[in-house]
A = this chain, B = another copy of it.
Amino acid sequence: MAVNSPLPIAADLKPVAGIEIGYAEAGIKKPNRKDVLVMKLAPTATVAGVFTLNRFCAAPVQISKAHLAAASANSGASGKPIAALLVNTGNANAGTGELGLSLANETCAALAAQLGVDAAQILPFSTGVILEPLPAAKVIAGLPQAIAGLKADNWYNAAEAIMTTDTQPKAGSRTVTIGGHTVTMTGISKGAGMIKPNMATMLGYLAFDAKVAQPVLDQLVKHAADHSFNCITIDGDTSTNDSFMLIATGAGALEITSVEQPEYAQLRDAVTELSLFLAQAIVRDGEGATKFMSIIVEEGANVEECRKIAYSIGHSPLVKTAFFASDPNLGRILAAIGYAGVDDLDVSKLNLYLDDVWVAKNGGRNPDYKEEDGQRIMKQSEITVRVKLARGAATATVYTCDLSHDYVSINADYRS
């Protein structure tokens, strides 16, 4: 029951030169389900990523960070670049201690052997249940099927292979012309619960066929994540496994070696736009979601306080259930603003809007506000909450969804 989220059409997802994709049904948690994904990269590719800040970060996250750091350090030298990404669903390999690291390393070694590269050239990712040992043997048994099926035109299957409680695959493609060169980019994402990225959220992969120097890509991935995956929340739970990876395959004609190059800004904006599309798709498919809300906090003294307030509104179960009920019980938004932790906030200057309806004026009810106007907006499936702080010029936006009966059902039944 995703909110206004168009199902991707396989034919619309464009292959990106320099990356091939294969998958397997390995029976990790359930049979007859795509649950292992291999993305094989051209030797020209550079990769950059951002990962969860959860202290219980999963074994594969720890390993991917280490492998990525080693490959990045070698970038431009004779070092060995990242050769493939390996993703499994059905098990997060988190909260698994030393055993978890050793099992994740085993899967890397197995894939590396079959691709003729080093284990350190593999980036592993996992998503699923926490605190249970990774069935590494099942992952490894699925690799030959995934490798045999490697092909460029396989993004739809990739989007399906990383789904867990998602109700639909999430993917998009863009073609942009930058500096006279055509750049093709395709991305996928997954995630529907345990979503309050403290960096990126859940799993997101975006590849394009330009050649981008490692330091430039490192900067680009941070910019894209900060303006997309880092602006969403479903339930305020930051996962142990969140990862967002940006892959520049280097197979196309565009080459960017510095952020000062005029083409950089164009590429950055195109990548960020697609990243935001993928991030919003996660919210639209949030567990039990029936509404999509953009929470915009403006006129803040700094971005940090705007984000605090936007997240405080976006996390409030009372605000989220009111949206679910289409009930303009908007005082709950004021309460959430009030406890956001901005200690010197002068609420007597604050204004609150619901789409174009001015609800609260100078901290109190706007005398011209009519209940039926609030009711009209609350019935929509997409709603913008706008808070004006009258403290400065900073702004922040957070995307979230409502809290419904289905969220409780989905999460009460998740493992069964």
Contacts and interface: CB of A to CB of B under 8 A. Distances in A.
A237 B335 contact: yes
B365 A131 contact: yes
Contacts of A303: none
Interface string A70-109: 0000000000000000000000101111111000000000
B55 A96 contact: no
Contact of A405 (B338, B339, B408): B408
Given A97-B364, A334-B240, A365-B131, A54 B339 contact: yes
Interface string A280-297: 000000000000000000
A363 interface: yes
A130 B236 contact: no
B94 A322 contact: no
Contacts of A404: 408
Contact of A348 (B54, B94, B97, B99): B97
Nearest to A198: B339
A339 B412 contact: no
15 contacts: A95-B331, A95-B365, A97-B363, A130-B332, A130-B335, A131-B331, A131-B365, A132-B331, A133-B365, A237-B316, A237-B339, A238-B335, A240-B338, A317-B411, A405-B408
Interface of A: 53-57, 92, 94-100, 129-133, 193-194, 196, 198, 235-240, 315-318, 321-322, 324-325, 327, 329-332, 334-340, 342-343, 345, 347-348, 359-360, 362-365, 403-405, 407-409, 411-416
